Amino acid sequence: SSNILAVCEVVVNEMKTFCGRANPTTGALDWVEQSEEYDYHQEIARSSYADMLHDRDRNVKYYQGIRAAVARVKARGEKVIVLDIGTGTGLLSMMAVTAGADFCYAVEVFKPMAEAARCIVKKNGFSEKIKIINKHSTDVTVGPDGDLETKANVLITELFDTELIGEGALPSYEHAHHNLVQEGCEAVPHRATVYAQLVDSALLWSWAQLQPLEVGGARLVPAPEVVRCAGAHSVCDIQLSQVSPRSFTPLGPACAMFSVDFSKPVSSSLQSHSSQFVSQADGRAQAVLSWWDLEMDPSGSVVCSMAPSWTYAAPETTPWRDHWMQSVYFLPEESRVAEGEELSLTVCHDDYSLWYSLTPRSPPEPQPLPSRPCCTCQAHLVWNRPRFGELNDQERTGSYVRALSSVLKEDSVCLSISDGSLLPVFAHMLGSKKVYSLEHSRTSRQVIEQLLEANSMKGAVDLLDVRPEQLTSNDLGEQQISVLIGEPYFSTSLLPWHSLFFWYCRTALASLLQPGAAILPCSATLQMVAVEFKDLWRIRAPCGTCEGFDVHMDEMIQRSLDFRESYEAEPHPLWEYPCRALTSSEAVMTFDFTQQLPQEPIVSQGSLPFTRTGCCHGVALWMEYHLTDDIAVSTGLIRPISEQGECQWTRHRKQGVYFLRTPWERSGDDRAAASYSFTFDPRSGDIKMDISVES
């Protein structure tokens, strides 16, 4: 759900279920009643089942591989017994039976999905030949009293994520080959190959390391602990097709790093693989771009590729999918390489994750396996990758510096409210008399303290571990706040307006503010534009049938995919998902931070007339913060919409997307508009919305 961060407790009272939720906007713990079907619908709605069901390339190639595998077993005169691990909707099992399999055991650990699969299998007439098993595959047994009567001779799986092995594919395959399938079984997919390419990219590296910043003519440098840190070990999964080749320099070819043959016993133990190549250019080795292919048959004639669009001769033919994307891995440290230099790129993997390292080719003596990267500076625990990019954005920093310079004076007492923010450091560098910052996280305080010490500013900012409503004048040395600042940025925010928590903090601090105190930002506006998505609409599109295979999905799946809590917006990084604006962008609600939080709801209604033809899938929503009367920063559009409707979105924040229940097609001179009604409730911090198209 859009406003859930933690489920603290569940109680049952008079047949009603309540969940304790940490509210990201108000900061309070809310108790919310949930329907009995809430978990079922929400968990399926959050999944990628709709995207997979609409992935024609995936479905067609799986079916081709399954038909070929079933045919090979039949050609040997054997009965075809299929084990389908991670069956989801039961689609691959139904493919197997349609292809002629005698019986299929379909394993699904997620109970709501297993129940849905039973209904779908029954609806399509496959109940007699498909048995749904609601277990983890490693708990499945074989024998007269087991889940399987006999071992399978065809193994079908869809256990993969963007990193290939991140969902535990290797342990599941390892167990299956030892316990559940016959030796020499057929496997679909038959083989997976992981590819990697070493690159130099200032854009990508800005997501991994804090860069020096120019602030009011002075230079702010990162702490040595951050510079030396190998960074976070988690993969950076993105739609790599939306990263322009102009933003990186390839230092080597795309290398096949390793392959896994799923028809043979698989090991989940720690392994490493290396690829040698000659550097194609001078540059800084910083990041590794990675993706993988699935070969559906032993001959490799049916391939499902995750390669980004810029690797295709005809990029427009690239299959789009969101359930599988591409990955960026950051090297433990950047290093200079020269054109023509012989290099060795090494990938290591355990049972769940991959990591990369770079060495000169043929080192003089055997090298130990590179250890998994681990953050030692704490900064990579405080700031996620988009946040690193935001902090490194010099244009954005310039806006804050100009705004701060216009309100700060020599006698200013400044208080900052944001998580892990550099604004209090900027305020000190720009001459504020005294700077305080509310930092509830000990880790955040440690990171900011390291930065201050690295720049000879130790003690320049008082980092206070106190909630805004608990702050007293004693904490401020009996001084009043003359300048209250925030980006605003809070690590608990999911949707753009969750950062209105700043307004709640400002209200709680009202008694500590000097009369006429400067508030930065002074206001915010909720912005809206109606859009046509190139591909993102697929994740919420109706899926009564499956593309590439003629079966019907059960109504429960469709209801779940349509389900929203109060039918709200959901967060998406729109720079990864191209869209066209069909209307102008407009401020649809204003929040005045110079005033305290109102007691009554703020209501805004209106409409945006369509100015371009196209299919309206929904609207994009974001916040624009007005630091001063003439300086603003956007968490959404960063450039004006082009004449053709092209949109440029910030890479630093997610935007809100409200999908229409039924897409609306505008053509010709239709006089239509996107009608909206927004209500901000200060008691709950929610923005309730109703958006439709009116002709």
User: Which are the catalytic amino acids?
Assistant: 158, 167
């004693």: which residue's tokens? Answer: 474
Q: How far apart are the first and last CA of the chain?
A: 31
Residues with Cβ within 8 Å of 662's Cβ and at least 6 positions away in sequence, in order, are: none
Residues with Cβ within 8 Å of 398's Cβ and at least 6 positions away in sequence, in order, are: none
- What count of residues does the chain have? 695
Note if the bond before 521 is cis, omega within 30 degrees: yes
> Residue 22: which of 3, 35, 43 has the closest Cα?
3
Cβ neighbour number for residue 535 with a 10 Å cutoff: 17
Q: Between β-strands 545-546 and 586-592, what pairing exists: parallel, antiparallel or unpaired?
A: unpaired
Distances (CA, A) of 119 to 88, 124, 131, 167: 12, 9, 12, 25
3-state secondary structure of 40: helix
Q: At how many degrees (to 10) do helices 91-98 and 111-123 cross? A: 30
Q: Between β-strands 673-680 and 602-609, what pairing exists: parallel, antiparallel or unpaired?
A: antiparallel
| Cβ-based burial of 303 (10 A; exposed 0-12, middle 13-18, buried ≥19) | middle
Torsion of CA 147, 150, 154, 157, to 10 degrees: 20
Distances (CA, A) of 209 to 297, 375, 634: 42, 12, 23
Q: Report which secondary-structure segment, H or E, holds 291.
A: strand 283-295
Q: Which two tokens stand for residue 8?
A: 């603290």
Q: Tell me if 310 sits within 8 A of 241, measured CB to CB.
A: yes
DSSP states of 68-83: HHHHHHHHTT---EEE
Measured distance CA(117)–CA(87) in Å, rounded: 8
Q: Tell me if 225 sits within 8 A of 381, measured CB to CB.
A: no
Measured distance CA(100)–CA(209) in Å, rounded: 54
Cβ neighbour number for residue 464 with a 10 Å cutoff: 19
Measured distance CA(215)–CA(428) in Å, rounded: 10
Torsion of CA 576, 579, 581, 582, to 10 degrees: -160
Q: Three-class SS string for 432-458?
A: CCEEEEECCCHHHHHHHHHHHHHCCCC
């924040």: which residue's tokens? Answer: 653
Measured distance CA(609)–CA(193) in Å, rounded: 49
Residues with Cβ within 8 Å of 280's Cβ and at least 6 positions away in sequence, in order, are: 250, 251, 252, 253, 339
Measured distance CA(129)–CA(548) in Å, rounded: 22
How far is residue 572 CA from its own chain's centroid?
7
Q: Which two tokens stand for residue 344?
A: 């060795």
Note if the bond before 253 is cis, omega within 30 degrees: no
Measured distance CA(562)–CA(660) in Å, rounded: 10
Measured distance CA(540)–CA(663) in Å, rounded: 10
Distances (CA, A) of 657 to 157, 339, 495, 560, 688: 32, 45, 9, 18, 13
Q: Tell me if 155 sits within 8 A of 187, measured CB to CB.
A: yes
Measured distance CA(294)–CA(261) in Å, rounded: 10
